[in-house]
Structure 1
Amino acid sequence: MEYKVEDLSPVKKQINITVPVDEVNAALAATIAMYRTNVDLKGFRKGKVPSSVIEGRFKKEVYSEATQDLVNVHINEVIGEGELSPVSRIDFDGGELVRDEEFSYAISFEVMPEFDLPSYEGIEVEEEKVIVDEKEVDEVIDRIRGNMAENVVIAENRAAKDGEIAVIDFAAYENGEPLEGVSAENFQMTLGDKQALEDFEALVKTITVGESGEGDVTFPEDFINPEFAGKTVTMKVTVHALQEKKLPELNDELAKKAGGFDSVEKMREAVVESYKSSRLQLNKSQAQKTMLDSLLKTVDFPLPDSMVDGHVDSLIQERIERLERQGKSVESLGKTPEELRAEVRPEAEEIAKTQVFLIAVAKKEGVEVTDQEVDMQLHQIAMRAGQEFHVVKDYYSKNNLLFSLRDRLLADKAMDAIYEKANVTEVEPKKEEEKED
């Protein structure tokens, strides 16, 4: 096999490969031998079917598999010898093997751009000191109390107010007919937290406990379910009970229930330590970003389109999921898919530029990511998603996401490598108005 590497652009390569006749015939013979071992044909003992019969009966499958196997072997050889690292899928341009004929084909893919890294050793960086904000600590303690609060029935026979929980039955009707999928029984609805339609909340707050009522409710034009978007329906509601959250007293008993702490003081100490740890990481991340932004301004290089497109897809998916959590559809943005992609592309390019830069740093510093580190990250992703590890890993593998995950971990390590060589100075935290400026 002979090959020639051609630069189609600073970030795209094409490799033209020529395979001699003897290698073509050897590849076909190897695939036929595999078929002879596994195929059962009437009139022949297993493993004894003549090669000519195999080739005649399974010619299409044999030639296709032999071509694919041979190309895969060549790709590994060429990429290994040339120390090339594709960042996109590998495109194949060629036909199939033909017995007793030379075989020529080409593969093309995108690679990382080559550029000179700026000097980053001793770069000046400011990192804010960690100062405990007692107000924020109190807010965490209040959230702990809120999570352990009990719902207590309100004895008064009246309508609900904001902050209370109404236990209701409800159903939607259109032209006197019930709408499927818009009904519930003994539904606990917290009022005032904007988790329900404004018209619906207003209706519930007009109904006294033990009574029923009805009123028109209009779904917003950007409602996530297009079947109901902009539609006005009649909502019938029965209020069974009102509840309010009763916060537990802040005492040692609560501390024990909250996390096995000996006392409120111990619980507060744990919250403070957690606060310091998270704030330290946040301040470090902010300092690292400032440092990286200054370094990125000193370099310019072309970006692989496949990498940018991948980040465009991720950003759009994040936006769709955010809209869905708000009960809205992507159509509510009033933009075509092309307009949406154009809108997020600058951000995707910034992400890609950062990734390319940090991967180049990783290569210079000899930083690597092991398979065990990738698996650890997948374990964390699986835990957050409430899924089995093997399910998440299979998904990442089948969708070619393992490489991008490895690159993200590599970029994180490279960032830490730069920061370790920086001249970091601790400074007082900025005031809120300074941060806004």
Structure 2
Amino acid sequence: MKARILVIDDNPDIAHALKVLFTINQLDCDHCLTPETGLSALDNSHYDLVIQDMNFTQDTTSGEEGITLFNEIRRRFADLPIILMTAWTHLETAVDLVKSGASDYISKPWDDDKLIITVNNLIELSELQQAHRKSALKHNRQQRELAQQYDLCGIRYQSDAMFNLLQITTQVAHADVSVLITGPNGAGKEKVAEIVQANSSCRQGPFIKVNVGALSPELMAAELFGAEAGSYTGITKRRIGRFELANNGTLFLDEIGNLSLDGQAKLLRVLETGEFERIGGSETIKVNVRIISATNADIKGAIAKGDFREDLYYRLNVIELPLLALNQRKADILPLAEHFLGEAFQLTEQACLTLKHYAWPGNIRELKNVMQRVSLLARDKVIDEKILALNVQLPESTTSSANTEELTAEDIQHAISDASGVISEAAKLLGLSRSALYRRMKKFEIVG
């Protein structure tokens, strides 16, 4: 199907010349003599690109009519490519409009070959933009459908990586198998565990959490399996362990990689038989508990060193849910930051860039702490990069547009990746307009 171009110009000779040029180059072209008829045509038919004059009245040379027409087209059709046709007297105005969102401008008389190249590039880039928009809409729709189908426990995210992880999480949640959540400290492993439990067959049962990595070997057995009164110094009444408390529910064992070898042996027995005895007791207690564990440790490396039992690892790791660090899913940073701040606060654009480029070694936990701090410091409810006080050097392309022509294909690919494929966000990271970014993507043959 041929692309359709609308020329809005009060000079029939110019319109005829353009129509012949476009027809020769396999492009359809319509012509309107006035801004009013041009806007009506746009309202009633689909066009892929507009070429508009900057002046429509013989005794007016200010270009104000062209500015008004451009602004109205942009208001009604925000993503429609617009090329401005200008005489030298309107060149400065045209340049200003390009900065405001016009795709390009051509001077009269124009170069036919250059105009055809420009038109074809803009049409192809517009098609790319529409494809990205459809992809983003599909992604957002999938996120909504997932939230409607499952209990996501209020998690805030935007990245593809997190969406993919949540898809797997909700799929395996109902199965009665052990789950191991891996990832760095503060990345949200406990939240993922909550989602598993909330969508499991034992969601109505208890959900018991214990950080086994923080327990000494002496306390581990009592904490997990309980103890009878008098079984050791200081205990005067029976202590119920976490396994018993979690019966017919879920037990979340955090930092499992730090468990001692003795603790690993005792844990393995319970996982194999579902049975244990309280310390100092002789009664065998049988429980039905779904195990979710988490670790930031390199378990396979620990197995190779003899610090972690391989048989226990395979008992715990029927399903592994790997959670990436926050700086590897940058699209999640702003939704989380806004969630922690609350609706009363506003992040400036420079603050958003700072948040996205900071390394976040402490992951979500650090982000939450930073947002709590700045919410106390921001008197006018506006959060800027100065209040954030994060040690981050923004790339030159985000602070100045002077070097945007020097951007490499790698720079653009990194920005698109950081923005999870959302071109408008990638353009902001690079300090470009969307149309400028699409032109560079075309130049480097990058398909987003």
TM-score, normalised with respect to structure 1: 0.26
Structure with the higher fraction of residues in strand conformation: 1
Answer 1 or 2: higher relative contact order, Cα 8 Å, separation at least 6. 1
TM-score, normalised with respect to structure 2: 0.25
